[in-house]
Amino acid sequence: MIDLSFFFQSNGGNLILKVAFLILEALFIAFSIIVVNQVSSLNKLFFIQPAHSSRIIQILSIVQLVFAIFLFLVTLAIL
Amino acid sequence: MPDIFQSNSNKTTASTTSTPAVQNTSTPTPSNTSSTPAGPLTKASIAAQNIANMPQTAMNLFSTLSIKPQGVNFANQDPNENVILFFRADFITNTFWIFATIFLVFVPILFVILAPMVNLSLAMLNPQANFIILYFYYLLVFSYAFISFMYWFYNVGIVTNKHIIGVQFSDVTYKNISTTPLQEVADIDFSQQGFSQTFFDYGTVSVQTEGINPKIDFVKIPEPGKVTDIILQIREVLNE
């Protein structure tokens, strides 16, 4: 059995894990913001019927961003 | 500008998909048709009539090839500019990412089943860390599927009675919009290679232009032969 429990259950290990996650999640938030902007820009560029298709994609991109921010806050709070 | 391109623009989708092709194809009498120039049948007038006779196709979320689509507009569109052709990659090209996403959804379950066999466990992490890892993992899987869908959805080609517009969107941070006047189209050809493209009838249409963008490629679009033929016919009418 690979046993890294000592490392991850120590304060130092936990802190390293937390910082690593926060960095990754911050990058993911930045990525999600880019996606939201790109979707918005492309929807302005051309309009395709049915209208709800573009709107669904716009909403999904925002949902992704919201979930990413929520994950960041949860990591900050509980880890 | 020939008014042939505008002939069906005000009709409803339901009525045009069923009727217009039948009305004119049987008796190609140009003198009786308001959209066709009078006189002997020239190559351009035949092309014009062919375009007028094409049935409109309805648009939906998963449309890959639409002729005279209703409700497709783009920025900087001229008031008398009508969309004749709208296309994006064939839906079959999405197969890989759809199956990859389904597989990735089940990876954590497989991990739980298979990890003990190789003496690996996540029990060393506290439950909160496990929750965050799982949450983040599924967020990444969702993101992968979403971005893949976006690549397919936003990589489109639009042919109007004046321009060819190609929208290329990739790597999230890159997008390129090429607009070429149809008069500047020097050559157009299509290619299909491999079993999948031949079997499902999709391929690449390459448009050589005399403008700033020397070449526009529409990759993996359905029925490339038909698309090439329609663009050639539009150009024929414009060059008259």
Tell me, yes or no, if B140 comes closer than 8 A to chain A by beta carbon: yes
> Does position B148 have pLDDT exceeding 80, yes or no?
yes
Q: Do B72 and A45 touch (CB under 8 A)?
A: no
Spell out the alpha helix ranges (H) of B13-94: 13-18, 20-25, 43-53
Nearest alpha carbon to residue B72 among A56, A20, A68, A48: A48
> Does position B30 have pLDDT exceeding 50, yes or no?
no
Task: Give the distance from residue B61's alpha carbon to the nearest chain A alpha carbon, in angstroms.
Answer: 6
Which strand ranges, in their side-by-side order, compose the sheet holding B65-67? Answer: B65-67, B83-88, B156-160, B163-170, B174-181
ipTM, two decimals, is 0.87
B72 near B63, Cβ under 8 Å? no
Of A3, A25, A78, the CB nearest to B124: A3
Domain boundary among B150, B170, B197: B150
Which residues is B185 bridged to in the sheet?
B209
> Percent of chain A having pLDDT more than 70?
85
C-alpha to C-alpha distance for B228 and B83, rounded to whole angstroms: 16
Which of B40-49, B120-129, B131-140 holds the top average pLDDT? B131-140
Q: Where are the domains of chain A?
A: 22-78
- What does DSSP say about strands B215-222 and B65-67: parallel, antiparallel, or unpaired? unpaired
Tokens of B108: 């954590």
Residues spanned by the domain of B43: 3-89+155-239
> Does position B2 have pLDDT exceeding 60, yes or no?
no
Instruction: Please list every residue in chain B whose beta carbon sits closer than 8 Å to the beta carbon of residue A38.
Output: 150, 169, 172-173, 175
B208 to each of A75, B100, B163, how far by Cα in Å? 52, 35, 13
- Coil, helix or strand at residue A15: helix
Nearest alpha carbon to residue B214 among B175, B184, B174, B183: B184
Residue A77 CA to its chain's centroid (Å): 16
> Does position B32 have pLDDT exceeding 70, yes or no?
no
- Minimum CA–CA partner of A17 in chain B: B129
Neighbour tally for B43: CB within 10 Å: 12
According to the model, what pLDDT value does residue B98 have? Answer: 96
C-alpha to C-alpha distance for B74 and B165, rounded to whole angstroms: 10
**Count of CB pairs separated by less than 8 Å, A with B:** 107
Q: Do B132 and A5 touch (CB under 8 A)?
A: no
B194: left (phi over 0), alpha (psi -120 to 50) or beta: left
B125 and B226 within one domain: no
Q: Do A45 and B143 touch (CB under 8 A)?
A: no
C-alpha to C-alpha distance for B154 and A43, rounded to whole angstroms: 9
Q: Do B156 and A68 touch (CB under 8 A)?
A: no
Mean pLDDT of B151-169: 88
According to the model, what pLDDT value does residue B99 have? Answer: 96
Task: Give the distance from residue A55's alpha carbon to the nearest chain B alpha carbon, in angstroms.
Answer: 11
> Percent of chain B having pLDDT more than 70?
78
Nearest alpha carbon to residue B65 among B177, B227, B219: B227
Number of domains in chain B: 2
Instruction: Please list every residue in chain A whose beta carbon sits closer than 8 Å to the beta carbon of residue B124.
Output: 3-5, 8-9
Q: Name the residue with higher pLDDT: A60 or B62.
A: A60
Q: Do B73 and A46 touch (CB under 8 A)?
A: yes
B138 and B220 within one domain: no
B166 and B80 within one domain: yes
Q: Name the residue with higher pLDDT: B21 or B39.
A: B39
> Does position A23 have pLDDT exceeding 90, yes or no?
yes
Instruction: Please list every residue in chain A whose beta carbon sits closer than 8 Å to the beta carbon of residue B91.
Output: none
Instruction: Please list every residue in chain B whose beta carbon sits closer than 8 Å to the beta carbon of residue A13.
Output: none
> Does position A49 have pLDDT exceeding 80, yes or no?
no
Q: Is the dihedral of CA A18, A21, A23, A25 positive or negative?
A: negative
C-alpha to C-alpha distance for A53 and A43, rounded to whole angstroms: 10
- What does DSSP say about strands B174-181 and B156-160: parallel, antiparallel, or unpaired? unpaired
Tokens of B55: 């049935």
pLDDT confidence tier of residue B180, bands split at 50, 70 and 90 = confident
> Does position B149 have pLDDT exceeding 80, yes or no?
yes
B98 and B83 within one domain: no
Q: How many CA atoms lie within 13 A of A39 on its CB side?
A: 26
Q: Do A47 and B72 touch (CB under 8 A)?
A: yes
Q: Do A24 and B173 touch (CB under 8 A)?
A: no
Which among A46, A56, A65 is the top mutation candidate for probing chain B, defined by the most B β-carbons within 10 Å of its own β-carbon?
Answer: A46
Mean pLDDT of A33-55: 84
Of A39, A46, A60, the CB nearest to B74: A46
- Minimum CA–CA partner of A4 in chain B: B124
B169 and B67 within one domain: yes
How do residues B37-93 score in pLDDT, each as one tens digit? 455 667 677 777 777 777 777 777 788 888 888 778 787 788 888 888 889 999 999
Domain boundary among B105, B128, B150: B150
B110 and B223 within one domain: no
